[in-house]
Structure 1
Amino acid sequence: MQKQIVHIDLDSFFVSVECRKNPDLRGKPVAIGNANGRGVVASCSYEARKFGVHSAMPSRQAQKLCPQLIFVSSNYGDYIQASREVTSIIEDAVPLFEKSSIDEFYIDLSGMEKFFGTLSYAVQLREKIISETHLPISFGLSKNKTISKIATGFAKPNGYKHVELGTEKAFLAPLSVSKIPMIGKKTSEKLQQLGLHTIGDLQKLSKQHLVAKFGKQGEVMYLKANGLDEGVIIPHSDRKSISTEHTFGEDTVDAERLQTVIISMTEELCYKMRKENFVAGCISVKIRYEDFSTFNQQMSISYSAADHLLIKLVKQLFEKLYQKGRAVRLIGVRLSDLVRGHHQIHLFDDSEGQIELYKALDNINNKYGSKTVHRAATASVKIRSHNPFGKE
């Protein structure tokens, strides 16, 4: 059976949610984020993009490009709720889908053509989402995830693009190599230096040639360029989480030690999330006392994988739970409501310097081990995490 995959993207999602609340923003250059010089743009409207403004751009630079730019503070709770509205509609409409980020989905409609017509069903689903949520969406439809994601780019804003079976290579050929999702800026520049400017240029090369030049990445490049990528749909689950617990050799009443351990656990979980390109929308802390009585506290948060933000929130939860003077047997931290696909460490409050700092630290830890660079206060702490990115 031939695969039929739909890629859905909610157009300028954060801005669209704000426009739904405040229709006066429609048709204007809008950016989500802080207007101060240290902030970055989390999302922007198409009107703002005409001036060269884009996501992850420093706010100061965005204001220079578009002096009339309207900055709106992020309201992460509203974005999470809007995402869940869309997720619920998709969940009721199809048997298999992947939620790749807060505003992106892959849907497997393979076999649907026997009953409804794949394109017709995708169009109806899009119209239903727009009608019920009042949020604009675009989609691409093809035989695999890569082509559908690229097609969505051509469908924007608020449209759809169907790449019919047998036309994949012709569709891809004239496009820049940078359009392939896995190709970043550095790889794109290297390809350009080799005279490989379009996907069609890559299609002319053998798999062996690309592997010789780029190693394992070359094989993936070959498959994607030729429309042969067979990436699978990862079934959606709101229960996806990562967690860790620490049982003390002897019960302790040392509050400072408890905080040191909980900071170390959070630091380790954040590193693992960034490594797997996840951000979390919920955190929880667990304390088990010497008599085995167990208490949990959780909170919804702005999607993030930033140590300095999550540690602060975890400490707040710990302080609410901890009963001074009682001996603690076990403490734990869980990060849940995870979504993939974000390049920012924190969706709304990243500064350019913080992004670069985390990238540098993670690169060192990736190369030499996860605890090579860490906070001095947690140097002696050894913990073991479990259930990484699993279902509970």
Structure 2
Amino acid sequence: MERAIVHMDLDTFFVSCERLNNDKLKGIPVIVGGGERGVVASCSYEARFYGVRSAMPIKMALRLCPEARVVKGDMEMYSRLSQTVTHVIEEKAPVVKKASIDEHYLDISGMDKFFGAYKWTEELSQSITHHTGLPISFALSVNKTVAKIGTGEAKPTGRKEIRQEMVKPFLSPLSIKKIPMLGDTTFQLLSRIGIRQIYTLAEMPVEVLQQMIGKNGIDIWKKANGIDHSPVEPYTERKSISTEHTFGQDTIDMAKLRGLITGMVEKLAYQLRSEQWLTCTVVLKIRYSNFDTETRQCRIPYTSADHTLSRSVMELFDKLYNRRMRIRLVGVRFTNLVRGSLQINLFEDTQEMVSLYQAMDRIKNRFGYDKVGKASGFRLSPKKEK
């Protein structure tokens, strides 16, 4: 049986959400971001026409498109609407994976036996727009890679079906930039030797590609040939990552506690970014010397940024730790995870902060996560975890 995989993507999601609240934003260039020194979190197609792109400094974006309307953004609203979309899809689709705040994969294999898979997907997209007012694009194909590329080609508010016999003719003329997870460094490397279209990459001996770019070479070659057997794994809100530290001797040393928690948060935040997760719920746990255990949590806009998460965890610590009793254990947990590549709060932080996170992650990737970090957390990072 031929697989039927759908990729659904909410078009210019942040901008579309803002337009629901303000009709005056429709049809004009819109930039979602924060402050003159901030960066572009999202932009409308009208702004993209002038060369504005995500992660571009706001100042540069306004030089390219001076008439653009800049909106700070509301992550709480975006998260709420994203959840509504997920609920609509989960009510109808047999297998769903929420890939990010605005993307979903669906496995509807076998649907053709009862109802046309393309027609069913088209009616689902219309239902999403009816319930939320948000425009959405989708592509139906034989695997996740081809479906995702297809959605990109279908935008805005497009629909595309790519059957097995059409996979190679569809992929061949496209730029290798369209291949998911093919980064700028790999693109530049391949471009220098004349490999710019997927057709050329697909015809290249896989052994040569592996020698050039390492173990990822095989995956990229498979994607260029439309090969992707990865399953659509059902999404669950309960996924989380956590870490705990038990002290050798119970402590009331506040500097030590705060430094330790900072290090724990930095480690987990790096893990979020490495695995492309975002969290909207942070949890702090304290166990006192008498073994009483207390926890407190709070919801925040989706993020994977150290400083945003650290601030939230420290606020929880200040509220939770009120006994002035020695502490035996501290734990930090991030839950309600969704897939996403946003690394910082793009509405508040500067281009310099974006560059700093990228540089620190490169150092951690090469030398280890504990080789660079905040001074307070680095010197007191946990050495023993349970």
TM-score in terms of structure 1 length: 0.94
Q: Distance in 2 between matches of 1:314 and 1:360?
A: 24
Q: Distance in 2 between matches of 1:148 and 1:371?
A: 38
Q: Distance in 1 between matches of 2:275 and 2:355?
A: 17
Give the aligned partner of residue 166 of structure 2.
167
CA-atom RMSD in angstroms? 1.6
1:15 and 1:30 in contact (8 A); partners too: yes
1:219 aligns with 2:218: yes
Give how far 1:211 is off: 2.5
Give how far 1:385 is off: 5.6
TM alignment of 1:100-111, pairs within 5 A: 100-111=99-110
Give the aligned partner of residue 4 of structure 1.
4
2:273 and 2:343 in contact (8 A); partners too: no
Aligned-partner residue type, residue 92 of structure 1: E
> How many aligned positions are there?
385
1:87 aligns with 2:74: no
TM alignment of 1:29-68, pairs within 5 A: 29-36=29-36, 38-68=37-67
Give per-residue Cα distances to partners, 1:198-251, cap 9 Å, x unaligned: 111122223233233333222112211111122221220111111111222222
Aligned-partner residue type, residue 343 of structure 2: Q
1:265 and 1:383 in contact (8 A); partners too: no
Give how far 1:41 is off: 0.6
Name which of structure 1's ranges 354-363 and 373-382 shifts more when overlaid on structure 2. 373-382
Give the aligned partner of residue 16 of structure 1.
16
Give how far 1:160 is off: 0.8
2:165 aligns to what SS in structure 1? coil
Give the aligned partner of residue 130 of structure 2.
131
2:95 and 2:107 in contact (8 A); partners too: yes
1:167 aligns to what SS in structure 2? helix
Give the aligned partner of residue 331 of structure 2.
332
The percentage of counterpart residues that share the same residue type is 45
1:97 aligns to what SS in structure 2? strand
Give per-residue Cα distances to partners, 1:273-307, cap 9 Å, x unaligned: 11112221111111122232222221111222211
Give the aligned partner of residue 382 of structure 1.
382
Aligned-partner residue type, residue 18 of structure 1: E
2:154 and 2:160 in contact (8 A); partners too: yes
2:260 and 2:380 in contact (8 A); partners too: no
TM alignment of 1:140-219, pairs within 5 A: 140-219=139-218
Give how far 1:95 is off: 1.9
TM-score in terms of structure 2 length: 0.96
Q: Give the 3 Å change call, closer, same or farther, for CA 68–201 of structure 1 in structure 2.
A: same
Q: Structure 2: any 5+ residue segments left out of the alignment?
A: none
Q: Distance in 1 between matches of 2:194 and 2:251?
A: 64
Q: Distance in 2 between matches of 1:347 and 1:46?
A: 19
Q: Distance in 2 between matches of 1:293 and 1:125?
A: 49
Q: Structure 1: any 5+ residue segments left out of the alignment?
A: 387-392
1:89 and 1:129 in contact (8 A); partners too: yes
Give the aligned partner of residue 358 of structure 1.
357
Give how far 1:143 is off: 0.3
